[in-house]
Amino acid sequence: MTDPAASAPEIITAAILVIGDEILSGRTKDKNIGYIAEYLTAIGIDLKEVRVVADEEAAIVEALDALRHRYTYVFTTGGIGPTHDDITADAVAKAFGVGIDHDPRAVKLLRERFGDAYLNEARMRMARIPDGGDLIPNKVSTAPGFRIGNVFVMAGVPAIMQTMLDAAAATLRTGTKMLSETVRADAREGDIGGPLGEVAKAHPGTAIGSYPFFDPERGPNTNIVVRSRDPHSLAAAKAAVEAMLEQVRASIK
């Protein structure tokens, strides 16, 4: 007999918390959610939820508390710069109920890079780290992000966020990767909806999604995405989708 626990997939979950008035006003279009989503999927972490909130302490604390107790990891973006509207670090300290002050390690990094003259009070804000936080290096502009508990606090500027995510990722537990296969239906979504639902029911170990798109060559078309952590289940469901599509296409022609 095989031990079922030995082959049970390990599932690691995550949420993203985007912090920024500029995203909610529409002035800045977020580029981090899609990037982080793809990144986490690739390394075996399931992104389960995203929230975007304003630069308001109460909103940040409430969202962070909701997410950090529910998911393995939370990644925040935005609000860790040198100006008065950068309040993420203080809000995170409040959520964790810890103090916050200039962190000697962060101050040292900034001083080595920029020198004392450049390090005014505003720039020193970027060295404020909640007690117990570990720095996340920033290869682009030095001012670090930080990790506290299961929360990773990163910059909002995409290039900086991306280098921080690389650094953070090296420290993450990852789970059994979600595998996926995309099958191009060459049929309209409405024509395959019924039989596709039957295939989905018959393959409960997989998640099957249907995504219509406009195909310049044939007009309305559909991508079927089959996902599973188990390669055998994935292959079986994909084969069933392909057989179903062949039947549907034959019946339409």
- In whole angstroms, the minimum distance from the beta carbon of 237 to its own copies comes to 13
Select the residue interacting with its own copies from 11, 37, 107, 236 (CB under 8 A).
Answer: 37
CB of 126 to its own copies, least distance (A): 8
Q: Which is nearer to its own copies, 82 or 137 (CB)?
A: 82
For its own copies, what does the binding mask look like between residues 170 and 209, x meaning CB under 8 A?
Answer: --------x-x--------xxxxxx-xx--xx-----xxx
Residue 207 to residue 62: CA distance in whole angstroms:
31
Q: Which position has the token pair 């395959």?
A: 192
- Which stretch in 27-35, 129-137, 166-174, 238-246 sits in contact with its own copies by CB under 8 A? 27-35
Q: Give CA–CA dist 248/199, Å, rounded.
A: 13
91 φ, ψ to 5°? -65, -40
The residue from 11, 12, 57, 59 that contacts its own copies (CB under 8 A) is 59
**Nearer of residues 197 and 205 to its own copies, judged by Cβ:** 197
Burial 62-71 (b: 16+ CB within 10 A, else e): ebbeebbeeb
CA dihedral 176, 15, 212, 24 (to 10 degrees): -160
Residue 7 CB, shortest distance to its own copies, in Å, is 23
Verify binding: residue 104, its own copies, rule CB under 8 A.
Answer: no
Cα separation of 210 and 241, whole Å? 11
